[in-house]
A and B are shown apart, each in its own frame.
Chain A
Amino acid sequence: MNISNSVTKKDHLPKMNGKALYVADYSTDGILFGRLFYSSKTRARILKVNIPVLPEGYLTVDKNDVPGENRVHIVMDDTPVFVDDTVEYIGDPILMVVGPDEDEVARLLSEITVDYEDLTPVLDISDPDATVFFDYHYGKGDVDKAFSEADKVYTEKFRTGRQEQAYLEPQGMIAEPHDGRITVHGSLQCPYYVHGAVAKAMGFEASRVQIKQDVTGGGFGGKEAFPSILACQVAVAAHKAGKPVRVIFGRREDMEFTSKRHPSLCTYKAAVKDGRITAMDIDVMYDGGAYTTLSAVVLQRGIICANGIYKMDNLRVHGRAIKTNTVPSGAYRGFGAPQTFFAVEMMMDHIAKDLKVEALAFKQAHIVVQGDETSTGGKYHFPVPVPEMIEEVDKASNFREKKKKYVRQTGRYRRGIGMSMVFHGAGFTGSGERDFIKAVVKLHKYADGTVEVLASNADIGQGLKTTFSKIVAHELNMPLERVIFHNPDTDRVPDSGPTVASRSLMIVGELLRRASINLLSDWVDGEDRIVEEHFTEPDFIIPFYLDRFHGDAYPTYAWSVSAIEVEVDTFTGLSKILGAWGSFDVGTPIDMNIVVGQMEGGFLQGIGYASIEQIDADRKGRIRNNSFSDYIIPTSMDVPNLNVMMHIEKYPLGPYGAKGAGEIPLVGAPGAYLEAMEQALEANLNYIPFSAEDTMKVLRGEVK
């Protein structure tokens, strides 16, 4: 059977009939309810916390109750489990109230007050007093020479906003102390991240910590690092209470106090000689929020993509993640790449306009080809199918024809179409897979012939239960029903790494395929057997050195070309999306329906990011629109004409040719959307989200 043929997803029925248990669905018998008390100050020293008299059975939990280190292990360990002496943003967790009745817990929470001494916050990444969390430089060629010899030099700034992951299931976690151990289960993407964090905060040996993933209602990066924080908090609370404790977030709490996509400010400078870009000098600033969480790795990915998919022999990139006293930024599908890809796509577009050439043709003249050097002196080892994908999208959307047609529009309704092209490097940046993750998988063949996948990757909707099982069943030539893959439990599964970075299928899926081959080679009917497989770096890789940003940042790339067509109502500022077309190369789809579903969902999230998804904060940095009433995500009505095409360029080292798929569909949407808006509005635009209000500002001549 062709591996791409779709099957009924393994977890289909329990999710259909309501039987699947998400963390909030477990019985609350004998469980205490916990709720967090948050800082209401942007930045302040805590002088005194005033706690009301607690009825019997109720308790508060704070920094003094953390048995291990009061630090959440993420990349660096600066995030406290509960705040120490100062609060660093509105929403910094000070303590938890725990007790048997949820309403009483809420009442007690409302009676807590804190005496603060205000400290000066930083809210703007351009503030000269801001702390720089991470500061990276890299480059190549002779940038200064290229600029001095340029016919023309272009400089422009680009901004992107925060984006909320808006998984439908809010964050939630339950911790149960038992037999000198702690078990934490809940909504999460990365069981071993949570495991490491809880062990550190509890001061426990690894063997005393068990983490289990429950059925998880979406993540999109939002359940990569944040669950480590929440898990530490509930673990500490359960430890103190000596009873199970659960914390389930409400939507507003989730939207206001959990990590979001990094806002960015990028300054691009480009040298043009004889109609070609000869150099780029790029400054990238990401707003990290109050703690470092994942900012280092998000920024690394962002700056590596800074020159887009264009050949650039002379390149200088400076990237910084800046501390502000706002909710910590974190992982979100794309992981730093959407910001810089947006900027470079608009930069290319604007230079082309100034040179009076077609933007698409201008971009095409700069696209890398197989064998070219990457931004970091690595190599595009495999074919770059973008030129063919452009033709596919053009054919489906009539891009070139519409681009010519939508000019000098004067009516109420004006149209525009835009196209962008991006890649996404699958797997951890640089040598992360080899040096940090070191993925291990196991297959357990039982005597009855059933085979169980033992891996720590979580099916959070993207279909891993099905795709992992398909790979094993395919290789062992057995029915899919005989392969099982339960939600990961760290007591049972090895650490095959986190469910992030479009890595699970390409990297862990390949390990499972290899493990299956080993299992088959000495398969004995009726015998119980376990095989294990470890990650090895492919031979062709040019080793990556993070200190110099040199080498292959990624072994291979997924590619996309996206086109979006809009119609702007110049009376209201509202724009309608007439069509969205995307061609995506993620290698061999391990299940066509699943991959198309990822592309459609990710593409729509990217369109939301570019247009309607706006996080608004007041002068204290407090997020004002913390609900689905005010933070609008796309509904079924917003992009009815959303078209996905698969272009298959196999990756020889991925299972059956598969590459990473999860993130790529989102990354290219903003550039395509804003280019379309530019055409409709006959203006150069440089920030997202670009809302109806922004459209009105352009129409009124307030923005040029």
Chain B
Amino acid sequence: MNSNIIKFILNGNEVSYAGPAGARLLDVLREEFRLTGVKCGCSEGECGACAVIIDGMLANSCMVAMGRINGSHVMTIEGYAGTERFAALDKAYASVSAVQCGFCIPGMILASECILSKTPHPTEEQIRDGISGNLCRCTGYNAIVTAIMSASKEGNGLW
């Protein structure tokens, strides 16, 4: 067995990667695994469009080297979209039309998940803090905050 192979759990499935350990997770997810729900907005960890969940924590995948995720669980929007929690967020975001251009949304949804998994009934301030690493230029954030708040109420027990 080649010890240079990086193994990790991607959206629940065990996968391996044989490329350089210094490659960026963002590029590998988009190019090798064709998970294009992971967006590239800035390449330097400022915008949050490429956010994924690594071992339960929100991370900008453009700032993560492949070597760092050996043995980790990585969740992208594609994996999360099949969950009951996603369905609750989907409904909440739809009810206030919180999605405009949509480019920030995959990252924003995963940020929403991280807020609610840590704090099932967050205050508005906790929500705003939790999405503060995810830039959105379209909405002014109000609808997104409302959506997360509503998901926490309607999806009671899911988180």
Contact = CB atoms under 8 A, between A and B. Distances in A.
Interface of A: 6, 8-9, 11-22, 24-25, 27-28, 165-170, 215-220, 250-251, 460-463, 591, 593-594, 596-597, 599-605, 627-629, 633, 635-637, 639-640, 642, 644
Interface string B52-88: 0000000000000000000000001110010000100
A27 B135 CA distance: 26
User: By DSSP majority rule, is chain B's interface helix, strand, loop, or mixed?
Assistant: loop
A12 B43 contact: no
B36 A601 contact: no
Interface string B95-137: 1111111111110010000000000000011011101111111
17 contacts: A8-B95, A13-B90, A16-B106, A17-B37, A17-B78, A27-B34, A218-B100, A218-B103, A218-B137, A251-B42, A251-B44, A602-B140, A628-B46, A628-B135, A629-B44, A633-B137, A642-B142
Contact of A18 (B36, B47, B133): B36
B102 A215 contact: yes
A43 to B, nearest CB: 30
Given A15-B99, A16-B109, 20 more contacts: A8-B95, A9-B94, A16-B89, A16-B90, A16-B105, A17-B77, A18-B106, A21-B36, A168-B47, A168-B136, A219-B101, A461-B101, A462-B100, A594-B97, A597-B98, A597-B140, A599-B140, A603-B140, A605-B137, A628-B46
Given A16-B90, A593-B96, A640-B124, A167 B142 contact: no
Contacts of A219: 101
B151 interface: no
A18 B76 contact: yes
B141 interface: yes
User: By DSSP majority rule, is chain A's interface helix, strand, loop, or mixed?
Assistant: loop
B143 interface: yes
Contact of B143 (A13, A16, A19, A593): A593
B137 A166 contact: yes
Contacts of A461: 100-102, 138
Closest 8 CB pairs of A and B: A18-B37, A15-B102, A461-B101, A217-B103, A600-B140, A593-B97, A628-B46, A461-B100
A629 B46 contact: yes
B38 interface: yes
B81 A16 contact: yes
Contacts of B41: 168-170, 251, 628
Contact of B99 (A16, A168, A628, A639): A16
Contact of A218 (B40, B86, B97, B138): B138
Given A16-B81, A628-B47, A633 B135 contact: yes
A126 to B, nearest CB: 32
Interface residues of B, number: 58
B76 to A, nearest CB: 7
B149 interface: no
A603 B125 CA distance: 20
A22 B30 CA distance: 13
A165 B36 CA distance: 24
Given A21-B36, A627-B42, A635-B132, A9 B97 contact: yes
B81 A17 contact: yes
A640 B128 contact: yes
A593 B98 CA distance: 8
Given A169-B103, A250-B43, A601 B145 contact: no
Given A22-B39, A461-B100, A601 B140 contact: yes
A670 to B, nearest CB: 16
Contacts of B140: 597, 599-604, 639, 642
B16 interface: no
B144 interface: yes
Contacts of A250: 43
Contacts of A8: 94-95, 97
Contacts of B132: 635-637
Contacts of A19: 37
Contacts of A600: 139-143
Contact of B138 (A12, A20, A597): A597
A460 B101 contact: yes
A601 B138 contact: yes
Contact of A635 (B76, B106, B135): B135
A16 B137 contact: no
Given A600-B140, A627-B42, A640-B128, A9 B99 contact: yes
A521 B155 CA distance: 46
A220 B137 contact: yes
Contacts of B78: 17-18
Nearest to A166: B137
A22 B90 contact: no
B88 to A, nearest CB: 12
A461 B42 CA distance: 19
